[in-house]
Amino acid sequence: MSAQARPAALTLAAYDELPYDCLPIPQTHPSRLATIARLFGLAPPGVDSCRVLELGCANGNNLIPMAAALPGARFLGIDLSRRQIADGQRNIDAAGLANIELRHADIASIGARDGQFDYIIAHGVYSWVPADVRDKVLAICSENLAPNGVAYVSYNTYPGWGVNGVLREMMTYHARGTSGARTRARKGRAMLDVLGQAMPNTPYGAVVREEIAFLNDVPDGYLSHDHLEGCNDPVYFHQFAEAAGRCKLQYLAEAEFSTMGLGGLPPQALAAMRSVSSDLIAFEQLTDIVRCRAHRQTLLVHQHAPIDRRLGSASIQSHSIWTQATLPPVEAAKPVTTNSAFIGPNGSAFNLGNPLTRAALKVLIERSPEAVGFDQLHLEASNLLRAATVAVPGLDAGRSLLAGELLQFYAAGIVQLRTWEPQVTANVSERPLATKLARLQAGRGSEVASQLHQSVALNPAERSLLGLLDGTRDVPALADAMTRAGALPQPAAGGTRGTATVERVRAMLRQLAKLGLLAKGLVISLVPDVMDLVPFVV
Ligand SMILES: C[S@@+](CC[C@H](N)C(=O)[O-])C[C@H]1O[C@@H](n2cnc3c(N)ncnc32)[C@H](O)[C@@H]1O
């Protein structure tokens, strides 16, 4: 076996023995890539009919929900683990998808004959493969990428992976001489136990203990492949950008836009960092040091793509906007004139001083997970203010103020932008509907891919309910079916199903809708006596 072939063969065995817990990654979705490219003035290929390649796709759990959501697009995933590809193929067959192929193949085998792709994804691969395969990943991102295409590559970075690397090295040292992914994971965990107990109460000890606590919670597949693989080579961001440049690719942005730059740093500190940064790459490299960043999800485009980095607030106005921020019920009940404590998607609370922005965020929370176009959002927020007899800024001033604040929210990760609308609804319809794929996944395990391309963990009752949402049952019928299946308590002997059971199912449906698990279908009327007669499709 040649030196180059050996690591690849080992990787294959390890992933065949202990498959990777592959999940949908929202940052890799072509709509996310297209949105960011558009934000920076590019004209990326349309998402509905795009061609997507994923390198190291494992069992396709990231690619399959994309294929289900975009029937007019085509997807190719390749992976060296025969078992993972076979697992994925079974899921594709069960879901009846004809627009996706999973191929058992080596990244090294991809060439010009495989054609061009509008979007290329390599998530969790670059740092975990030998140097020649790493170079090949970037070569594919260049040679197989359509002229206006966007590539996504994630990788471990320094300095954050410095601490992780210390733990990795101690775990692999402790597992030396052993083989088998499961055995090595067991050995690794034993070492984490020892170190967790021994770490002193110093700043260094606290940093290491935090990482140990994180690793204690991850599944064996993650620990084994992310930390104990033969290959795990973090890079500095500038090294990655230079390697991409050698392949005639340029840095576009991070797929999680809010992780770019450094919000919250004092202006003098930012100015000092800029003064020693010759360009964006140098500045971003410094931000990694300040944040102690351990991981990046970088978007690349061809070197001559005309990126326009002037992010004016006008760029927001051509997108629709949505949020996963929330308002606790007591805060939501407050009038728009009063300051409310919003909760950001990351769980931190924040207030908004400006009534127009406050009203806009309330509208977005109410409508989530659907998105609202900028013009409509401005209109609805202004109407909320008028209804509360609050002064509304003039049209141009209001639009400009709202666009500016939304751009800040986007940079802070409070709102997201969309240029493509998933088939998702915030409404619980008369006969609620979930996608065939979500229903299949609910039957298999607790992790289900939402229409937002997020992985959602469900409890047994929610799984049972989701599995029944084929659009044929109304809410009382769902309550009956769940009770029969033992997912809800049986009525007392001789009793009938109570209103409380139906209300519980309705509440669960509202929760599934918020999580992006309900697809558009028949809509329940807000005027039941008239509209109940004519359900309509949106
Ligand atoms: C850490 S896993 C990541 C899987 C998936 N992309 C995810 O993030 O959930 C790395 C994947 O790359 C695959 N892989 C490693 N080397 C490869 C190669 N040379 N060619 C194709 N696939 C490879 C492995 O089999 C494994 O499924």
pLDDT, tens digit, 9 for 90 and up, residues 24-77? 999 999 999 999 999 999 999 999 999 999 999 999 999 999 999 999 999 999
For residue 421, what are the CA distances in angstroms to 16, 320, 387, 439, 481?
Answer: 36, 9, 30, 21, 32
Going from the Cα of 122 to the center of ligand 1, the distance in angstroms, rounded, reads 9
For atom 14 of ligand 1, the residue with the nearest CA is 56
5-157+234-264+292-302 architecture in CATH? 3-Layer(aba) Sandwich (3.40)
Going from the Cα of 58 to the center of ligand 1, the distance in angstroms, rounded, reads 6
Alpha-carbon torsion, ordered 384, 386, 391, 397, to 10 deg: 70
Residue 151 is predicted with a pLDDT of: 98
Residue 372 is predicted with a pLDDT of: 97
**CA distance linking residue 339 with residue 350, whole number of Å:** 10
Residue 135's Cβ-count burial label (10 Å; 0-12, 13-18, 19+) is middle
| Ranges under pLDDT 70 in the chain | 1-13, 262-263, 491-497, 521-538
Residue 224 is predicted with a pLDDT of: 82
Report CA torsion sign: 45, 46, 50, 55.
Answer: positive
Residue 9 is predicted with a pLDDT of: 53
Adjacency order of strands within the sheet including 74-79:
100-104, 74-79, 51-55, 117-122, 145-156, 295-302, 249-254
Domain ranges across the chain: 5-157+234-264+292-302, 160-227, 313-418, 436-531
Amino acid at 144: N
For residue 176, what are the CA distances in angstroms to 4, 166, 183, 223, 239?
Answer: 22, 15, 11, 16, 30
Angle at CA of residue 68, ends 67 and 69, nearest 5°: 90
For atom 27 of ligand 1, the residue with the nearest CA is 58
Q: Which residues contact 33 (CB under 8 A, 6 or more apart)?
A: 44, 119, 150, 152, 255, 299
| Residue 133 beta carbon below 6 angstroms from any ligand 1 atom | yes
| Residue 107 beta carbon below 6 angstroms from any ligand 1 atom | yes
**CA distance linking residue 364 with residue 340, whole number of Å:** 15
| Residue 20 beta carbon below 6 angstroms from any ligand 1 atom | yes
| Residue 81 beta carbon below 6 angstroms from any ligand 1 atom | yes
Q: Ligand 1 pocket: which of 79, 227, 228 to mutate (most atoms <8 Å of CB)? A: 79
| Residue 181 beta carbon below 6 angstroms from any ligand 1 atom | no
**CA distance linking residue 76 with residue 235, whole number of Å:** 28
Q: Ligand 1 pocket: which of 20, 84, 136, 225 to mutate (most atoms <8 Å of CB)? A: 20
Q: Which pairing describes strands 455-457 and 415-418: parallel, antiparallel, or unpaired?
A: unpaired
How many CA atoms, within 13 angstroms, populate the side-chain half-sphere of residue 447?
11
What count of other Cβ atoms lies within 10 Å of the Cβ of residue 386?
12
Going from the Cα of 304 to the center of ligand 1, the distance in angstroms, rounded, reads 30
**CA distance linking residue 508 with residue 338, whole number of Å:** 30
Q: Residue 231 is encoded by which pair of tokens?
A: 């290959």
Q: 């028949």: which residue's tokens?
A: 522
Residue 338 is predicted with a pLDDT of: 84
| Residue 140 beta carbon below 6 angstroms from any ligand 1 atom | no
Helix axes 280-291, 267-275, angle to 10 degrees: 130
Residue 148 is predicted with a pLDDT of: 98
Q: Which residues are registered as beta bridge partners of 27?
A: none
For atom 1 of ligand 1, the residue with the nearest CA is 124
Alpha helix stretches (DSSP H) within 388-435: 395-411
| Residue 256 beta carbon below 6 angstroms from any ligand 1 atom | no
